[in-house]
Amino acid sequence: MKVGYIGAGAMGAPMIARLAEAYPGDTLVFDVSPEVSARVAGKTGARACSTIAEIAQASDVLFSCVPDNASSLQAYLGDDGVASAIRPGSITIECSTVGPDITQEVNAALKAKGACHLDASMLGSVKQAREGTISFVVGGEAEAFERAQPVLARCGRFIRHCGPSGAGNRMKLIHQTLVGGHAVAVAEAMGLCLETGADVETFFDIVTQGTGFACSRYFENRVPRMRDGEFSALFMLKFLLKDVRLARDMISGAGANYPNLSAVVKTFEDSVEMGWADDDFSAVMKLVEARIGKAIAK
């Protein structure tokens, strides 16, 4: 079995490494940057392909991880894209966070070619990609999901079939509304500590060691980084903004019916405007700092 991967970026490269280890000599890579393809191929032993059509024609299972809706449509349905060359019986696995409408459009096009398309949205970041502990929430035909599971298991641990095409995207986007909302809530709670004089270290201990309901992995992991003034990206703020916008746009009238979500989107938009798009999404804390004139770093 030959396994291909389109998109050798921060998430794709470590996944390609794991796939190349599991399928030596049978792993293929394509990136829009030939230099990136060559570098990842050289490090992992995967074979670099020069076009999407080439990798699509050669792959039995083809992953993709690209930045956004437009990139996904171009990769799959553009000239010399996946749909132009995919073989009947092949499975494509879109790991990008895209809108369910995009997934369903791609699914229909590939189904017409005799291929199966899965939306396998990922929960986790680069650390989990390196460790092989990504969570996959998957939409698509159950039979294709069963066939793809052993390959997904090379890169992830929690793998859940959520329903038909687009169902994985919906689950991921709803999940991201909690992530974004929590990031904003934590930033504002820390801002309240700073403005009221409540001791930040004591508050951290109360949240993480007490028996209340405020603790989370995000709080435990990100607040110490904030205290160190560390906002280097584990997951870029601009990407979480993309996710919460996509979640909002799944529903017409979201502004009226989901005011908290609208407020989260606005907070992330304001943070991007302030120049923190490429920082970690916890950099919404910087926006609170700018508003109150106080810094969380020790």
pTM confidence score? 0.94
Give the pLDDT confidence score for residue 180 in this predicted structure: 98
Give the pLDDT confidence score for residue 56 in this predicted structure: 98
Instruction: Just list the catalytic residues.
Output: 172
* Complete edge-to-edge strand list for the sheet that includes strand 61-64: 47-48, 27-30, 3-6, 61-64, 91-94, 116-123, 134-139, 156-163
Cβ neighbour number for residue 33 with a 10 Å cutoff:
11
Give the pLDDT confidence score for residue 44 in this predicted structure: 98
Q: Which domains does the chain have, with CATH numbers?
A: 3-164 (3.40.50.720), 170-292 (1.10.1040.10)
Give the pLDDT confidence score for residue 283 in this predicted structure: 98
Q: Give residue-wise pLDDT tens across range 262-296.
A: 999 999 999 999 999 999 999 999 999 999 999 99
Give the pLDDT confidence score for residue 254 in this predicted structure: 84
- The residues near 269 (Cβ < 8 Å, ≥ 6 apart) are 241
Give the chain's residues under pLDDT 70: none
Give the pLDDT confidence score for residue 255 in this predicted structure: 83
Q: Give residue-wise pLDDT tens across range 124-133.
A: 989 999 999 9
Give the pLDDT confidence score for residue 253 in this predicted structure: 84
CA atoms within 13 A on the CB side of 101: 7
Q: Give the separation between CA 14 and CA 60, rounded to whole angstroms.
A: 20
Give the pLDDT confidence score for residue 167 in this predicted structure: 98
Residue tagged 């502990």 (tokens)? 133
- DSSP letter for each residue of the chain: --EEEE--STTHHHHHHHHHHHSTT-EEEE-SSHHHHHHHHHHH-PEE-SSHHHHHHH-SEEEE--SSHHHHHHHHHSTTSHHHHPPTT-EEEE-S---HHHHHHHHHHHHTTT-EEEEEEEES-HHHHHHT-EEEEEES-HHHHHHHHHHHTTTEEEEEEEESTTHHHHHHHHHHHHHHHHHHHHHHHHHHHHHHT--HHHHHHHHHHSSSS---HHHHHHHHHHHTT----SSBHHHHHHHHHHHHHTSTTHHHH-HHHHHHHHHHHHHHHTT-TTSBGGGHHHHHHHHHT-----
Q: Give the separation between CA 266 and CA 261, rounded to whole angstroms.
A: 9
Give the pLDDT confidence score for residue 153 in this predicted structure: 98
